[in-house]
Amino acid sequence: MAHAQGRRLTIAPSLLAADFTRLKDEVRAIEAAGADWLHLDVMDGHFVPNLSFGPLVLKALRPHTRLPFDVHLMISPVDPYIAAFAEAGADHISLHPEAGPHPHRSLQVIRSLGKRAGVVLNPATPVEAVAWLLELADIVLVMTVNPGFGGQAFLPSQLAKLVALRRMIAAADHPIALAVDGGIAPDTARLAVQAGADTLIAGTAVFGTTDYAVAIGALRAAGAVAIADPHANDPHTTGTTE
Ligand code: DX5
Ligand code: ZN
């Protein structure tokens, strides 16, 4: 599995699982613990059945960390809010193709604002939905839970999507991160990286622990094992001599 070699893992803790009474301290702590990006889940109570926070919170946190802000917009319509998140300090802005009538145009807008553009696939959304968006995508994010809440169980059915997307990304003419979000902990991280993911988004498995550096280290180690030996503990190949 040549694609697995040479991949650098990105760890992106999700602020949704942080202590909201101490967000500034949480963001500083996660940077000190070795996070690569800070994932920020924006929910509107309409596109997903939950509410979280908006650009004001990004703006308030922006001076307190150098971590790239990886903003996951779960809002519809998404287009009226893209510029506000860019101005508030987003470095990456990811959207669901269902969140507006013209996702290709939405990605163009994100790129025109000088930000990295991402597209997110819900569990029921097929990989074909991104085929004609890849030319504008810097990130493809596979949801391994239905979006809206932290702490849900990882959906193994989505691993096949990562395998297919890894192939599609390999054929693209520019680098595209392949991220996974939902129920990511060391065991599921290993499966996701084996399937092709290079970016691990995790809320509960990092902010739900007492030592963030240890939690991030455990995710990195699980991913590194999968990169070094993509077939380790793979139920389809364990026991064979290949
Ligand atoms: C869910 C969000 C996730 C969430 C992940 O809608 O997109 O980023 O914070 O939380 P865990 O890691 O707890 O599943
Ligand atoms: Zn998210």
Class of domain 10-228: alpha beta
Q: How far is 42 from 140, CA to CA, in rounded Å?
A: 17
The pLDDT assigned to 6 comes to: 62
For the record, the structure tokens of 124 come out as: 């029921």
Q: What is the mean pLDDT of each run of 10 residues along the chain (242 residues)?
A: 63 98 98 98 98 98 98 98 98 98 98 98 98 98 98 98 98 97 98 98 98 98 91 52 37
The pLDDT assigned to 32 comes to: 98
The pLDDT assigned to 88 comes to: 98
Confirm if 130 and 137 have CB atoms less than 8 A apart: yes
β-strands 38-43, 69-74: how paired? Answer: parallel
Pocket residues: Cβ below 6 A from ligand 1 = 14, 16-17, 39, 41, 72, 145, 147-148, 150-152, 181-184, 201-205
Q: How far is 141 from 97, CA to CA, in rounded Å?
A: 11
Q: For residue 149, how far is its CA from the centre of ligand 2 (angstroms)?
A: 9
138 is known as an active-site residue: no
Instruction: Tell me the pLDDT tens digit for each residue of 212-230.
Output: 999 999 999 999 999 988 7
- The pTM for the full model equals 0.94
At residue 87's C-alpha, the angle toward residues 71 and 47, to 5°, is 40
